[in-house]
């Protein structure tokens, strides 16, 4: 049985799963679906179009599925979809989608720290950490296990690869290839995310293969097209293939 404060407002059309805790002054709109074992601390706002999985914790002041901050939005039916076992800290905002994608997606097992903003049509993978006051503009894609430190500003349409570490205060306007560290002003490639890769269990052999791929990309003075062709001549391990396909498909261009 769910534990719901009498001071919370829940629209009769909202669907609430089993064993949820909903604190005082929460607001849950119509056309909302919340799964099992979720905790909403006081003053959490869940608006029209939210689709929430199981086992998430929402801290005070979080606002989920507000309409997009996009002048092209015309009230179309869209959603904000959140997976399982996420920690959504104080004052996090996750907007719902627009006609561009139709939904904003946050995967599972993520930590979104205080004041983070996820704009319309973003796709955030699983196992990510989004630091305090970090802001994602519209249609940003973040692959699994990425870490964005505090006060990172991400331009719309940017693609951030998996297993990256982005230093605090960084402004991003280029795509960030997987397994890397980026930072400084203006933003630069700063090497491999060695600590993160070792913590995630990557072998020394695999790390050496990743290093060789980025030596080709960043140390041989090649243009992107030639670098991609040379990458295709390396042994196509899953990691090298991921790097190659990421760079080849980049629309904004990768960080220098």
Catalytic residue numbers read 120-121, 138
- The whole-angstrom separation of Cα 210 and Cα 232 is 13
Please choose, from the candidates 16, 60, 55, 61, the residue with its C-alpha nearest in 3D space to the C-alpha of residue 39: 55
For residue 186, cis peptide bond before it (omega within 30 degrees of 0) = yes
Parallel, antiparallel or unpaired: strands 165-166 and 180-183: parallel
**HSE, side-chain direction, 13 A CA sphere, residue 166:** 36
- The whole-angstrom separation of Cα 81 and Cα 42 is 21
Determine contact, residues 131/152, Cβ cutoff 8 Å: yes
- The whole-angstrom separation of Cα 56 and Cα 162 is 22
The CA distances from residue 95 to 42, 207, 251, in Å, are 20, 37, 24
Determine contact, residues 42/23, Cβ cutoff 8 Å: yes
**HSE, side-chain direction, 13 A CA sphere, residue 239:** 19
In this structure, the number of other CB atoms found within 10 A of the CB of residue 61 comes to 17
- The whole-angstrom separation of Cα 241 and Cα 19 is 43
Element containing residue 159 per DSSP (H, E): strand 159-160
């Amino acid at each position: 049985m769910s534990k719901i404060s009498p001071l919370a407002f829940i629209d009769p059309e909202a669907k609430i799963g089993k064993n949820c805790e909903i604190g005082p002054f929460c607001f849950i709109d119509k056309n909302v679906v919340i799964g099992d074992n979720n905790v909403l601390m006081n003053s959490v706002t869940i608006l029209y179009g939210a689709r929430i999985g199981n086992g998430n914790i929402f801290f005070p002041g979080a606002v989920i599925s507000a309409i997009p901050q996009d002048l092209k939005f015309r009230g179309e039916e869209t959603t904000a979809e959140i997976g399982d076992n996420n920690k959504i800290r104080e004052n996090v905002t996750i907007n719902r989608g627009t006609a561009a994608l139709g939904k904003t997606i946050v995967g599972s097992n993520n930590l979104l720290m205080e004041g983070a903003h996820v704009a319309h049509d973003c796709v955030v993978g699983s196992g990510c950490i989004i630091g305090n006051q970090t802001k994602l503009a519209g249609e940003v894609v973040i692959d699994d296990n990425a870490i964005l430190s505090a006060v990172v500003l991400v331009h719309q349409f940017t693609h951030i690869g998996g297993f990256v570490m982005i230093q605090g205060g960084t402004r991003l306007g280029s795509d960030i290839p997987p397994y890397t560290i980026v930072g400084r002003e203006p933003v630069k490639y700063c090497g491999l995310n060695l600590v993160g890769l070792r913590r995630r269990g990557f072998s020394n052999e695999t790390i050496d293969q990743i290093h060789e791929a980025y030596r080709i990309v960043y140390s041989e003075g090649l243009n992107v097209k030639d670098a991609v062709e040379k990458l295709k001549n390396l042994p196509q391990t899953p990691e090298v293939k991921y790097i190659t396909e990421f760079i080849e498909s980049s629309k904004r261009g990768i960080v220098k």
